[in-house]
Amino acid sequence: MSFLPGFGRRQPSSAEKIANAEAEMDMIGEMMARLNQSCLKKCIQPDYHEGDLTKGESVCLDRCVGKFFEVQMKISEKMQGDAAMKQGM
């Protein structure tokens, strides 16, 4: 057993690294799809007549995206805390 951080742990193989990266990309893609679906539905009217966003739509999207990521961070922190508690038990 080593007292130096990082030593004594098994290093992930290349296949494991690739699988982890692919899983992370899938999660990011799913998160972006949820973000697009919820914020576009909330902020953009389906019968738009202009090619550009209005000021109100732009502000709504900005706030929606900010809130979405704030909630995602809180969820991530909660899940990491729960996982740490389970490992400590």
Domain limits, the chain: 14-88
pLDDT digits (tens, 9 = 90+) for 47-76: 888 889 999 999 999 999 999 999 999 999
> How many other C-beta atoms can be found within 10 angstroms of the C-beta atom of residue 75?
10
Q: 2: which residues sit within 8 A by CB, 6+ positions away?
A: 8
Q: Give dist(CA 64, CA 69) in Å, integer.
A: 9
Dig out the tokens for 86 from the structure.
């389970």
We find that the CATH architecture of domain 14-88 is Orthogonal Bundle (1.10)
Say what the pTM is.
0.67
Q: Model confidence at 1, in pLDDT bands (50, 70, 90)?
A: very low
Q: Give dist(CA 20, CA 73) in Å, integer.
A: 20
Contact, 38 vs 61, CB < 8 A?
no
